Homo-oligomer: A and B are copies of this chain.
Amino acid sequence: MATFNNNVPTKFPKLDPKGPAGDIVLAAERAKATFNTQELTKFMYGEEWLDRFSRVLEVIENEPAFDKSNRYYQGRNERVADAFKKDKRMVELAREKKWTDVDSQIANFLYDQSSPFSLHSGMFLPTLKNQTTDEQKKLFLEPAVKHQIIGCYAQTELGHGSNVQGLETTATYINETNEFEIHSPTLTSSKWWIGGLGKAANHAIVMARLILNGKDFGPHPFCVQIRSLEDHRPLEGITVGDIGPKFGFNTVDNGFIMFDHYRIPHVSFLARYAQVKQGTGEYVRPPNAKLSYGTMVFVRANIVMGVRFALAKAATIAIRYSAVRNQFVDAANPRKWENKVVETAVLDYTMQQYRMLPIIAQAYACFFTGREMLRLYNENQTNMNAGNFTLLADLHASSSGLKSLCTTMAVQGIEDCRRACGGHGYSMFSGLGSFYQDYLPNVTWEGDNYVLTQQTARYLGKQFRSVAANKTKESDMNFTSGYLYEYLQNPNSKCPAVEAADFMNPEVLLNAFRFRAASMTQKLVHQLDDQGKSWNSMTVEIARVSKAHTQLVLLSNFISGLQAARSEVSSSTMQALRNMALLFGSHTLEQELADFLVSQYLSPDQAGMVKDLTLDLLSKVRPDAVALVDAFALPDYYLHSALGRYDGKVYESMTEMAEQEPLNHKLVTDSYEECIKPLVHAGKAEGRWKGEGMQAKL
Contacts and interface: CB of A to CB of B under 8 A. Distances in A.
A198 B247 CA distance: 25
Contacts of A350: 536-540
A147 B682 CA distance: 9
A611 interface: yes
A123 interface: no
27 contacts: A2-B231, A10-B239, A17-B187, A18-B188, A73-B244, A76-B663, A81-B670, A84-B669, A85-B671, A91-B679, A161-B423, A162-B327, A163-B328, A187-B652, A200-B669, A225-B692, A232-B677, A235-B697, A237-B695, A243-B658, A256-B658, A265-B694, A333-B536, A351-B543, A426-B444, A540-B611, A541-B611
A492 interface: no
Given A187-B17, A440-B426, A669-B199, A663 B80 contact: yes
B17 A426 contact: no
Contact of A594 (B159, B594, B694): B594
A645 B618 CA distance: 48
B263 A695 contact: yes
A150 B679 contact: yes
Given A75-B76, A168-B18, A679-B148, A672 B615 contact: no
A655 B187 contact: yes
A285 interface: no
Nearest to A249: B426
A576 to B, nearest CB: 22
A332 B661 contact: no
Interface stretch (A427-435, A481-489, A493-501): A427-435
Interface string A676-698: 11111111101011111011111
A214 to B, nearest CB: 19
Interface in A226-253: 228-249, 253
A231 B91 contact: no
A329 to B, nearest CB: 8
A535 interface: yes
Contacts of A232: 668-669, 672, 676-677, 680
A138 to B, nearest CB: 10
For the complex of A and B, list the 4 residue pairs with the smallest distance between their C-beta atoms, beginning with the closest: A75-B75, A148-B683, A247-B433, A593-B594
A190 B655 contact: yes
A102 interface: no
A408 B73 CA distance: 28
Residue among A85, A190, A674, A678 having the largest count of chain B Cβ atoms under 10 Å: A190
Contacts of A1: 230-231
Contacts of A237: 695
Nearest to A330: B536
A667 to B, nearest CB: 6
Interface stretch (A368-376, A387-395, A506-514, A597-605): A597-605
Interface in A184-218: 184-190, 192-193, 198-200, 202
A258 to B, nearest CB: 6
Given A10-B239, A158-B654, A655-B187, A663 B698 contact: no
B150 A655 contact: no
A693 B558 CA distance: 57
A423 B443 contact: no
A686 B535 CA distance: 57
B229 A689 contact: yes
Chain A contact residues (Cβ within 8 angstroms of B): what range?
35 or more
Q: How many copies are assembled? A: 2
Nearest to A78: B75
Contacts of A671: 80-81, 84-85, 199
Contact of A228 (B594, B660, B697): B697
A696 B148 contact: no
A42 interface: no
Contact of A189 (B18, B146, B264, B433): B18
A607 interface: yes
Interface string A309-333: 0000000000000000111101011
Contacts of A159: 17-18, 325-326, 651
A512 to B, nearest CB: 14
A32 interface: no
A350 B17 CA distance: 54
Given A245-B428, A683-B143, A696 B235 contact: yes
Contacts of A660: 244
Contacts of A537: 350, 615
A166 B75 contact: no
A73 B245 contact: yes
B426 A448 contact: no
A604 B615 contact: no
Contacts of A600: 604
Interface string A48-77: 000000000000000000000000111111
Contact of A239 (B11, B326, B680): B11
Contact of A663 (B77, B158, B188, B429): B77
A574 interface: no
Contacts of A450: 351, 355
B162 A675 contact: no
A423 B163 contact: no
Interface string A133-166: 0000001000100111110000010111111001
B433 A246 contact: yes
Given A10-B241, A247-B428, A597-B607, 18 more contacts: A11-B239, A12-B187, A12-B239, A75-B76, A84-B671, A87-B675, A143-B683, A146-B679, A148-B679, A148-B680, A190-B655, A199-B671, A229-B691, A236-B696, A244-B657, A244-B660, A256-B658, A350-B539
Given A85-B674, A247-B426, A236 B697 contact: yes
Nearest to A14: B187
Contacts of A678: 88
Nearest to A267: B691
A479 interface: no
Contacts of A594: 593-594, 597, 607
B88 A253 contact: no
A338 interface: no
